[in-house]
A and B are shown apart, each in its own frame.
Chain A
Amino acid sequence: MFSPKRDETRPGYEMRKEHIAIGVMILLCLPILAIYVTFFAQAFVADGKLSLSNFRFLYTTIVMGQYTVPEMGPAFRNTVIFTLCVTACEVVISLMAGYALSRMRFTGRNFLQKLLLILRLFPGVLLLISILYVLMYTKLLNTLLGVVLVAIALRLPGSTFIIRNFFNDIPKDIENSALVDGCNRLTAFFQVIIHMVKPGIASISVFAFMSAWSNYLLFNTLILTGKVPIMATYLRSLSMNDQMIADYGVFSAMALVYMLPVFVFFIISQKSLMKGGFSGGKGI
């Protein structure tokens, strides 16, 4: 459609417009960058000087006046466990369900397809109140397991929808060919089909990761005793403490460490995100 490169065949006025547009964009994007950079720069300043001492929370306890900053370890550990569990389970379960919905014939198929569309669009966050009740009833309230299950359940329709579409794009002949070449359904799946949805798997993994890592609401709502801290709730409680907020140095250092994986994944998956292959804006 549009030729991406500049070459001599493009008229001057187009080039000029492009330059103006670039200028405008730089102007508008600058504030965003300025805010972020300024904020996170505070992590590298202590007592007015450039230093890394704010990062000492990584290996030692910090005391600010009369306030002892709680250890970040447990929160970080829980976040990692939570994220890995949710991501792994979400990918595997949606892979299985997506495959079944795409390639298999069974009674109730049409019904489930329609249900998938509804569940995917519906904002699960509205159901938190009754989800709390269900967890309480099953004695999973205040447990990491409970939140893990809820997180997976609410994100499954979205991921399954995406993966199912990836499966839909695989030509039927390829699967038939594998069956003729000596595979049964299972071996065909693992030796051939799964390789063809690798981009789909990659993309939902990234979204699952980023969503789980950033999760705040679920833990805030479904863990009433603070028994299972995660990075989000940890940072939140710190941010409510006046001592911490007096000087953002340590906090911004912690926030930086927290955001690092998100940034890394973001840069890695730039390309697929750009194509608009989003999973949930309705996610938690």
Chain B
Amino acid sequence: MIRIENLRKEYDAKTVALDGIDLVFEDSTFVALLGPSGCGKTTTLNCIAGLLEPTSGKIFFGDKDVTQLQPKDRNIGMVFQSYALYPHLKVIDNIAFPLKQKGMKKAERYEKARKIAEMLQIEYLLDRKPTQLSGGQQQRVSMARALVKEPDVLLLDEPMSNLDARLKIEIRDEIRRVQQETGITSIIVTHDQEEAMAIADKIAILDNGRIQQYDTPEHLYHYPANLFVAKFMGNPPMNFIDAALSADGTRVEGAGFSLPLEQHMAQGGKKFAGHAVKVGVRSHLMAVHTEKVPQSMEMRLQIAENLGKEILISGMVGDSFVRVTVPENHDTFEQYKAISRSEKPLVYLTMTGVYNIFDTESGVNIALEK
């Protein structure tokens, strides 16, 4: 288990890269550090690796305080964005390099290198030099080198950024497979939320040097802790509908709708009574009705598009732009098209699944109030 305690990293007393990070990485889990550029994810990774010294805070590998230890004493393996293979060494020497530093004899370390190369399906490349390899191949060599010393933790710094879309998916699955086979605790830094959702057991989203939320991909997707996370996760992005909580905090009301608050939001409703809020709901978790039904939101239908696998309708709920996707159906599509051209192009949306309410001012998900 890896534990980070109140990690801070400051540059020149003006720039704060890490603003107090607390994280726990359970053994054998795959955790993604996700966020936009400059959020502090790479800084965190480098601190874990020992390549950066934190301004304050502690890092524990198990019970051991490793904060002052050099990278070479932390028993970690790292895969870099640029692969960082040693150009003057053959692939097999690249992979065996960490073992050489440990003083292992040549025969033994070549044996281990071969084994790991096999696992990553690159044995046929062992005699080549890095410049003779493709991007994907270099990636695998980089992984092999990181894993050969059987480290306690595997760190990956945006390893797939330099690959094309098809390779990305292939390598992603490869990394996942290897991690599950070896059971090694892994931490990956990425700015691609889709990648994080696909590969990680848990995701820590960072912004401005702080952790916004640390949870499973599913929870992050459906129950984002604040507006930032909600906007970041999911493609296409979540819809946000401007509204306000009633004065007594039991209803959320917007242009053309008034919905009672669900039970798990009751406390939040009381706390943020009367506040302006945003209702966050996924495009595919709404149903469209052509007649007004109770507890629905009125939407001025502007465009209806048939995307083949689904129908996408977009329009305005109050002043907020909303997109809704429904299963493809020829008749429904024609109906929507007709409505969009009519004099009163109104449809009515109801929630069919999870939705969240965020306090506009603080961005917080009101359901977090217990």
Is B80 on the interface with A (CB-CB < 8 A)? yes
**Contacts A187-B101, A192-B86; A180 near B76 (Cβ below 8 A):** yes
**Binary per-residue interface labels of chain A (154-196) against chain B in the complex, 1 for a CB within 8 Å, 0 otherwise:** 0000000000000000010110111111111001000010011
How far apart sit A192 and B93, CA to CA, in the bound complex (Å)?
Answer: 12
Max chain B C-beta neighbours (<10 A), residue from A177, A179, A195: A177
Q: CB-CB < 8 A to A174: which residues of B?
A: 84, 86
**Binary per-residue interface labels of chain A (195-222) against chain B in the complex, 1 for a CB within 8 Å, 0 otherwise:** 1101000000000000000000000000
Is B87 on the interface with A (CB-CB < 8 A)? yes
Q: How many A-B residue pairs have CB under 8 A?
A: 59
Contact of B71 with A179 in the complex, beta carbons under 8 Å: yes
Q: CB-CB < 8 A to A173: which residues of B?
A: 80-84
Contact of B72 with A181 in the complex, beta carbons under 8 Å: yes
Is B78 on the interface with A (CB-CB < 8 A)? yes
Is B232 on the interface with A (CB-CB < 8 A)? no
A contacts, CB < 8 Å to B: 171, 173-174, 176-184, 187, 192, 195-196, 198
Contact of A181 with B51 in the complex, beta carbons under 8 Å: no
**Contacts A173-B80, A173-B81, A187-B101; A180 near B71 (Cβ below 8 A):** yes
**Contacts A177-B78, A187-B101; A182 near B72 (Cβ below 8 A):** yes
**Contacts A176-B51, A177-B78; A184 near B84 (Cβ below 8 A):** no
Contact of B70 with A184 in the complex, beta carbons under 8 Å: yes
How far apart sit A62 and B147, CA to CA, in the bound complex (Å)?
Answer: 71
B contacts, CB < 8 Å to A: 49-51, 70-72, 76-78, 80-84, 86-88, 97-98, 101-102, 145, 149
**Contacts A177-B80, A187-B101; A196 near B71 (Cβ below 8 A):** no
Q: CB-CB < 8 A to A187: which residues of B?
A: 101
How far apart sit A176 and B145, CA to CA, in the bound complex (Å)?
Answer: 14
Closest residue of chain A to B97 (Cβ to Cβ) is: A181
Q: CB-CB < 8 A to B97: which residues of A?
A: 178, 181
Q: CB-CB < 8 A to B50: which residues of A?
A: 179-180
Q: How far is the CB of B358 from chain A (nearest CB, A)?
A: 39
19 more A-B contacts (CB under 8 A) besides A179-B70, A181-B149, A182-B102?
A: A173-B81, A173-B83, A174-B84, A176-B78, A176-B84, A177-B78, A177-B84, A178-B86, A178-B97, A179-B51, A179-B72, A180-B72, A180-B76, A180-B77, A180-B78, A183-B72, A184-B72, A192-B88, A198-B88
Give me the 4 closest cross-chain CB pairs, A-B, nearest first.
A182-B101, A173-B84, A177-B84, A195-B88
Contact of A181 with B98 in the complex, beta carbons under 8 Å: yes
**Contacts A179-B71, A180-B77; A171 near B84 (Cβ below 8 A):** yes
Contact of B101 with A181 in the complex, beta carbons under 8 Å: yes
**Contacts A173-B81, A177-B80, A180-B51; A196 near B72 (Cβ below 8 A):** no
Q: How far is the CB of A172 from chain B (nearest CB, A)?
A: 9
Q: CB-CB < 8 A to B82: which residues of A?
A: 171, 173
Task: For B98, give its contact among A176, A182, A192, A195 (CB under 8 Å).
Answer: A182
Could you pull out 9 A-B pairs where Cβ atoms are within 8 angstroms?
A176-B71, A176-B84, A177-B86, A178-B97, A179-B51, A179-B70, A182-B98, A183-B101, A192-B86
How far apart sit A33 and B98, CA to CA, in the bound complex (Å)?
Answer: 55
How far apart sit A148 and B50, CA to CA, in the bound complex (Å)?
Answer: 43
How far apart sit A138 and B83, CA to CA, in the bound complex (Å)?
Answer: 53
How far apart sit A195 and B51, CA to CA, in the bound complex (Å)?
Answer: 22
Q: CB-CB < 8 A to B71: which residues of A?
A: 176, 179-180
How far apart sit A274 and B145, CA to CA, in the bound complex (Å)?
Answer: 38
How far apart sit A183 and B82, CA to CA, in the bound complex (Å)?
Answer: 19
How far apart sit A177 and B97, CA to CA, in the bound complex (Å)?
Answer: 10
Q: CB-CB < 8 A to B80: which residues of A?
A: 173, 176-177
Q: CB-CB < 8 A to A184: which residues of B?
A: 70, 72
Q: CB-CB < 8 A to A178: which residues of B?
A: 86, 97
Q: How far is the CB of A235 from chain B (nearest CB, A)?
A: 42
Q: How far is the CB of A255 from chain B (nearest CB, A)?
A: 40
Q: CB-CB < 8 A to B49: which residues of A?
A: 176, 180
How far apart sit A183 and B145, CA to CA, in the bound complex (Å)?
Answer: 14
Q: CB-CB < 8 A to A192: which residues of B?
A: 86, 88
How far apart sit A120 and B248, CA to CA, in the bound complex (Å)?
Answer: 77
Max chain A C-beta neighbours (<10 A), residue from B49, B83, B84: B84
How far apart sit A217 and B81, CA to CA, in the bound complex (Å)?
Answer: 52
Closest residue of chain A to B148 (Cβ to Cβ) is: A181
**Contacts A180-B49, A180-B78; A196 near B88 (Cβ below 8 A):** yes
Q: CB-CB < 8 A to B87: which residues of A?
A: 195-196
Q: How far is the CB of B87 from chain A (nearest CB, A)?
A: 7
Q: CB-CB < 8 A to A177: which residues of B?
A: 78, 80, 84, 86, 145
How far apart sit A173 and B84, CA to CA, in the bound complex (Å)?
Answer: 6
How far apart sit A83 and B87, CA to CA, in the bound complex (Å)?
Answer: 32
Closest residue of chain B to A181 (Cβ to Cβ) is: B98
Q: How far is the CB of B211 from chain A (nearest CB, A)?
A: 24
How far apart sit A195 and B130, CA to CA, in the bound complex (Å)?
Answer: 14
Q: CB-CB < 8 A to B149: which residues of A?
A: 181-182
Q: CB-CB < 8 A to B78: which residues of A?
A: 176-177, 180
